[in-house]
């Protein structure tokens, strides 16, 4: 619905609520206090450990509160720094920079990415500097840029490829320099011919633009690596175990901004779409923007039945609009009341449809039964952690079993048990 809508910048707001953790890994620590004056791009948290990432002020203003905000991912209250904008939108001292990142050393580039708080913007939010620092015994010789955007409804990456390809190609070159590679592949699903045509016209010779099939969940890392190269990531392994590394188009664009301009990750392109919103749009929006403000900018709700952070397959249904845009918010999907189907769960009928649908070759029906019984240890033996929660099993289940929710539950139990063990 938003595929033909050009990216529009959302006007500066009055209040921003920046969560201290918008990444996988250790939470970041606030380094500002109530009453402090901050500038746009100023660090307001510092990472706690290697797998962590800082956050920055999305605009200039005053810190009004170190409080909480509802996370669109967990639905729980998480620490957040509340900033009241002063309307000046004044940059932090020394920003933006103007430099040639391709003349910089790989270590300098990595430090710029780390300092800018870049994380995976396709939704995974893994700190990018960590991903670009594979162990010495892991040789990465294949770099794939994920332009598949296979999640239904979402078009932010598509518009970015059409409108801001220079940033994408610049970021790809930076990653190639860090990894010491001579070529890269930008993979785009074949329902985006306009993007492929434009990208092939503009692509440097060392960057190959290739089609992949339109097949959900083609955009998942392991599936994309196999589709492009035929390489399989081993069970329990990472892409680097297959000599590959994947980055989202939005992430490489942010890498260019960080290395060329010193710009931290304080805004992103997000799709606001669905039959439940008055005006579907692709918007450039600041991190920490209240979702209620975003909805208002898109004309307000219209017969809305469900609001989802992300897409309809892997997104998270929200209980209210009292949340914010985060670094990993690739879209907000608003379904109409007519589209929302609520059905009572029944017992598994062992039809095997979920097994046929699973792109990882798991047995989701077994995992759902173990989830009902809280048997996370047995689920680990069923390769629980190989599931990346694409939702295909739940979508196909005729018994309306919330299989992917049981998987999330089992993973949470496993994390809790691991934390208790470490504490003991």
Residue 283 has pLDDT above 80, yes or no: yes
Residue 56 has pLDDT above 90, yes or no: yes
Provide the whole-model pTM.
Answer: 0.96
**Contact between residue 159 and residue 5 where contact means Cβ atoms under 8 Å apart:** yes
State residue 126's pLDDT score: 95
Residue 29 has pLDDT above 80, yes or no: yes
H/E segment holding residue 188: strand 184-189
What tens digit of pLDDT does each residue of 201-217 get?
999 999 999 999 999 99
State residue 343's pLDDT score: 86
State residue 41's pLDDT score: 98
Q: 105 is written with which tokens?
A: 């050393």
State the sign of the Cα–Cα–Cα–Cα dihedral 224, 74, 316, 333: negative
3-state helix, strand, coil in the chain (%, to 5): 30, 20, 45
State residue 75's pLDDT score: 85
Residue 191 has pLDDT above 90, yes or no: yes
CA dihedral 326, 341, 219, 119 (to 10 degrees): 10
Residue 421 has pLDDT above 90, yes or no: no
Q: Rounded distance, CA 175 to CA 129, Å?
A: 10
Q: Rounded distance, CA 55 to CA 127, Å?
A: 12
Residue 181 has pLDDT above 80, yes or no: yes
Q: Please give the share of the chain, as a percent, with pLDDT higher than 90.
A: 95
> How would you classify the pairing of strands 331-336 and 267-273?
parallel
Q: Rounded distance, CA 233 to CA 59, Å?
A: 41
Residue 424 has pLDDT above 80, yes or no: no
Three-class SS state of 7: strand
Residue with tokens 């003349």: 103
What tens digit of pLDDT does each residue of 364-404 get?
999 999 999 999 999 999 999 999 999 999 999 999 999 99
Stretch among 122-126, 156-160, 263-267, 382-386 having the lowest mean pLDDT: 122-126
Burial class (CB in 10 A: 0-12, 13-18, 19+), 418: exposed
Confidence band, pLDDT 50/70/90 cuts, at residue 332: very high
Residue 74 has pLDDT above 90, yes or no: no
Closest residue by Cα to residue 117 from 23, 26, 39 = 23
Residue 244 has pLDDT above 90, yes or no: yes
Residue 3 has pLDDT above 90, yes or no: yes
Residue with tokens 């918010």: 329
State residue 227's pLDDT score: 96
Q: Rounded distance, CA 321 to CA 318, Å?
A: 7
State residue 217's pLDDT score: 95
Confidence band, pLDDT 50/70/90 cuts, at residue 422: confident
Confidence band, pLDDT 50/70/90 cuts, at residue 423: confident
H/E segment holding residue 393: helix 392-396
Q: 126 is written with which tokens?
A: 């893994």
Q: Which domains does the chain have, with CATH numbers?
A: 7-95+264-336 (3.10.20.600), 101-261 (3.40.50.11540), 353-423 (no CATH)
What tens digit of pLDDT does each residue of 306-321 get?
999 999 999 999 999 9
Backbone angles phi, psi at 146, to 5 degrees: -85, 100
State residue 342's pLDDT score: 82
Q: Rounded distance, CA 31 to CA 388, Å?
A: 34
State residue 163's pLDDT score: 98
State the sign of the Cα–Cα–Cα–Cα dihedral 102, 103, 106, 108: negative
Position with higher pLDDT, 420 vs 147: 147
State residue 99's pLDDT score: 96
Q: 174 is written with which tokens?
A: 């930076």
- State CA 50 to chain mean position distance: 19
Q: 316 is written with which tokens?
A: 């998270």
Q: Rounded distance, CA 29 to CA 48, Å?
A: 7
Bridge partners of 211, per DSSP, are 188
What is the DSSP code string of 297-340?
HTT-BSSEEEEEEB-TTT-EE-SSS-BB--TT--EEEEEETTT-
């Amino acid at each position: 619905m938003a595929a033909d809508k050009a990216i529009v910048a959302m006007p500066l707001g009055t209040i921003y609520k920046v969560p201290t953790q918008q990444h996988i890994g250790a939470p970041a620590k606030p380094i500002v206090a109530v009453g402090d004056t901050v500038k746009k791009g100023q660090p307001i948290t510092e990472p706690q450990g290697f797998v962590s990432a800082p956050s920055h002020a999305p605009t200039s203003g005053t810190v009004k509160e170190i409080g909480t905000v509802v996370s669109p991912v967990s639905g729980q209250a998480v620490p957040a720094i509340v900033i009241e904008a002063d309307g000046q939108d004044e940059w932090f001292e020394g920003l933006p920079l103007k430099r040639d990142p391709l003349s910089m050393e790989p270590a300098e580039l990595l430090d710029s990415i780390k300092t800018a708080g870049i994380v995976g913007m396709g939704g995974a939010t893994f700190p990018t500097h960590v991903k670009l620092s594979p162990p010495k015994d892991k040789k990465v010789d294949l770099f794939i840029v994920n332009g598949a955007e296979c999640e239904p409804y979402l078009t932010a990456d598509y518009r970015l490829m059409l409108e801001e390809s220079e940033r994408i190609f610049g970021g790809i070159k930076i990653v190639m320099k860090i990894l010491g590679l001579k070529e890269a592949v930008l993979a785009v699903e074949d329902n985006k011919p306009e993007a492929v045509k434009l990208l092939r016209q503009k692509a440097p010779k060392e960057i190959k633009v290739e089609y992949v099939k339109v097949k959900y969940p083609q955009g998942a890392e392991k599936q994309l690596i196999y589709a492009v190269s035929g390489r399989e990531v081993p069970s329990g392994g990472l892409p680097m175990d297959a000599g590959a590394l994947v980055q989202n188009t939005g992430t490489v664009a942010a890498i260019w901004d960080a290395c060329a301009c010193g710009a931290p990750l304080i805004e992103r392109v997000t799709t606001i779409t669905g039959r439940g919103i008055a005006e579907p749009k692709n918007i450039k929006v600041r991190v920490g923007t209240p979702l209620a403000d975003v909805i208002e900018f898109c004309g307000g709700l219209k017969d809305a039945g469900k609001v989802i952070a992300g897409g309809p397959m892997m997104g998270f249904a929200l209980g209210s609009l009292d949340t914010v845009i985060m670094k990993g918010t690739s879209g907000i999907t608003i379904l109409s009341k007519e589209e929302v189907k609520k059905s009572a769960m029944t017992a598994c009928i062992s039809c095997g449809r979920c097994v046929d649908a699973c792109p990882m070759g798991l047995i989701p029906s077994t995992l759902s039964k173990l989830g009902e019984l809280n048997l996370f240890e047995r689920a680990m033996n069923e390769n629980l952690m190989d599931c990346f929660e694409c939702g295909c099993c739940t979508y196909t289940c005729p018994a309306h079993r919330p299989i992917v929710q049981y998987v999330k539950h089992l993973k949470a139990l496993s994390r809790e048990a691991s934390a208790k063990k470490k504490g003991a």
